[in-house]
A and B are shown apart, each in its own frame.
Chain A
């Protein structure tokens, strides 16, 4: 029988596979509606400054992001590769996770490290963005979905442009 950890690791594997595989149209499906998705520099996060570099508050805003980068933005081609590790499944007590497994109202907190590598034409692969996912996950119609996903990245200084979601 698979554990909650197995199931969550499966979710993150699916999530990064969707992004790295360029299936961005499926990306909003990983979220509830409404939801909260933010890419936020650690400097802002730790100082309590509210500004995010990317902010989506609904599945519609996630879709808008995808449609703009598909049909409107102009940028050089690039490939991304996400590595996610050190999943810490929140530990407000095992009963929380059990509730999440069984009931629709339960919420699971997951903290994880991520690293995103970027490869552009005529360039060696670079470390593009490194940080932590601070996530809230709920079960909706039997599927685990992000109700909140914060990507808090370590270096405020972004090399070039951030085109794709993390």
Chain B
């Protein structure tokens, strides 16, 4: 990659950012192992001391664990001895971690507490006298938890999560994560053969939603002619798309939406019977939090979507659907039914996962070409409507700062 960015403003995105191996390596170093808070899981997934789950920050595998004092620790899943990925269970409960290869043993905070034959056997062999256990712990990440959501960072000097989100984004975050205890309903995971940034762009791009998604448009779940907004933090790195549900009726806008099917009705309307549960008029808020989290609130279906990079041309999307401990059985059933809209088989989201793969096939073959993002102008300002690509421009504004591009 020797090319310069093709525009002074952020209205162009060169296609080499989606497939270049050097760019990918720089993203891992500067973004995922740099000054960012990455989502790694929910506190409700590891409620008891000793509970752990495997997770990832960029392409670094980590283990998220609740220690015996109840604090959450995040350690790299790599033994300090020979680099073995010591934890293979997706979830579990442990008193300590032991690498199976040579049984180096760590406490739940990642401190090395045992090395077999450290003193040798019958005065032979063993570690040198000056071998210090405390110099060979697991690599630890800084950890922050806000209202049951766990973030980790390789940068210990990062400002607190609240400052990182900024006041406006923190308010949207707290709308769903308001401090109520969360209940995990289950997981979905998919491997999408596209660059990870295309996923973020998708959730910062309200333009497509009114055109591509017949289901959303027809049932008024997200549509250009409904009250909506695009908002960002001061850097442009986090954003929300906000909208309010309308009815299945034609308007001056639906004429431009081939996706609007006035006659389409559900045989079983129980699939879509949302109830209002959050304050304010918004019925859908999709939030993107740099660098790896999407918070989904579409009607009553709530999920975190974690992006896990798998090389320049693939990423894994980990969907964790949840509700609240206080939900009635009826509300839980509603959330489970509405989950039909989302995930690898989602009535809405398959359009996106397919489109990201179509995008990758197109951009891979033309690294020298560039995307044109001029909808709504060329700036990165918030907008009280959806006919804009400002949040994508904001994303690339910050991306270029971090990446030095």
Contact = CB atoms under 8 A, between A and B. Distances in A.
A160 B345 contact: no
Contacts of A68: 214-215, 347
Interface stretch (B35-43, B249-257, B263-271): B263-271
A58 B316 contact: no
A55 B340 CA distance: 6
A96 interface: no
B5 to A, nearest CB: 31
B347 A160 contact: no
A158 B190 contact: yes
A68 B217 CA distance: 13
B303 to A, nearest CB: 9
B190 A157 contact: yes
Contact of A64 (B259, B267, B343): B267
A159 B358 contact: no
Interface stretch (A1-9, A11-19, A73-81, A142-150): A73-81
Interface in A107-166: 156-163
A57 B354 contact: no
A49 B336 contact: no
A72 B218 contact: yes
B117 interface: no
Interface size band for A = 35 or more
Interface stretch (B158-166, B181-189, B283-291, B362-370): B181-189
Contact of A51 (B218, B339, B347, B357): B339
A57 B267 CA distance: 12
Contact of A71 (B188, B192, B264, B343): B264
Contacts of A55: 336-337, 339-340
Contacts of B337: 55, 57
Given A50-B336, A53-B344, A41 B188 contact: yes
B11 interface: no
B140 interface: no
A54 interface: yes
Interface in B333-385: 336-337, 339-340, 343-345, 347, 350-351, 353-355, 357-358
Contact of A162 (B218, B316, B344, B357): B344
A75 B350 contact: yes
B267 A61 contact: yes
A43 to B, nearest CB: 6
A97 interface: no
B351 A75 contact: yes
A51 B336 contact: yes
Interface in B314-337: 316, 321, 332, 336-337
Contact of B215 (A47, A49, A58, A72): A72
A121 B340 CA distance: 27
Contact of B316 (A41, A49, A71, A157): A157
A150 B185 CA distance: 17
Contact of B270 (A57, A71, A160): A57
Given A41-B189, A51-B185, 13 more contacts: A41-B187, A50-B336, A51-B188, A55-B340, A64-B267, A68-B347, A71-B264, A73-B214, A74-B214, A74-B350, A158-B191, A160-B190, A160-B192
30 contacts: A41-B187, A43-B90, A49-B187, A50-B185, A51-B321, A51-B336, A51-B339, A53-B188, A57-B268, A57-B270, A60-B266, A60-B267, A63-B268, A64-B266, A64-B267, A67-B267, A72-B215, A73-B347, A74-B212, A75-B350, A75-B351, A75-B354, A156-B187, A156-B189, A158-B345, A159-B190, A160-B191, A160-B192, A160-B357, A163-B345
A-B pairs, 7 with minimum CB distance: A51-B186, A60-B268, A60-B267, A72-B214, A49-B186, A44-B186, A162-B345
